[in-house]
Amino acid sequence: MSTMSDPNIINLVGEFVLFNKAVLLHLGKVNKRFVEIMKQMKRIGYDSFLLIAVTSAFTGLVTSVQASYQTSGYIPVSLIGVLIGKSTMIELAPVLTGLVLAGKVGASIAAEIGTMKVSEQLDALETMAIDPVDYVYMPRIIAGVLMFPILTIFSNVIGILSAFLLSIYKYQVNAFSFFTNMRDFFLPSDLLGGLIKSIVFGLIITVIACFAGNRATGGAEGVGKVTTLTVVYSSIFILITDFIVAALLFGSLS
């Protein structure tokens, strides 16, 4: 079997499409794997809260500093909350959450499945009439699609609150005007757009991780290789998809 870096891109794309088709055909067995899905949701979501909290907190602080610096003399300080709210919900929270989890969740899934592949545990499942797509891949993909939006909402809250606290302390922004202006300029599409991005990112990361792990060969070296490629490809596709989704939701490609 070829590896993720195989120069024959046509074969690679074809196998990726067939892999996704196999996962889709097993969605009807979600109830059967409910316990495993919940286990993966805990690993992807709950176990990532601290990492997302730290990342979002400092992102909010940086956003507050940059918003104040870049708009100094152009717009009132009271409108900083509007800039912070929109930039966090639309772009920063979903994208940074996706990139951070590509390194944590994507690498973890790829390494785990890659180890199962090279140690022939996946083959052992098949000999026991257990389909790896049903038992291993599908629960992780569904858990990623469900938990990424939740983590993004959490990131929104932490990022905006940290930016708010710094704005009060450093720039003497009135708390009432900060949130009132944010509310007045808020559009449902701001939050919805970020959540749609997070769902897509969750799908991208988990699918690539499962697909790459399934292609691991050559023992520990092969596992390390597919883990690295998972993070690289996931990050690239997150940035590409971010542009596509943003263009479709907030602008025109023409």
- pLDDT digit string, tens, across residues 47-85: 999 999 999 999 999 988 888 777 776 777 778 888 889
- Specify the pLDDT at position 209: 95
DSSP 65-127: HHHHHHHTTTS-GGGHHHHHHHHIIIIIHHHHHHHHHIIIIIHHHHHHHHHHHHTTHHHHHHH
- The model carries a pTM of 0.88
Q: Has residue 253 got a pLDDT over 50?
A: no
Q: What are the pLDDT digits (tens) for 122-142?
A: 889 888 888 888 889 999 999
Residue 193, number of CB atoms within 10 A of its CB: 20
Q: Are 193 and 186 in contact (CB under 8 A)?
A: no
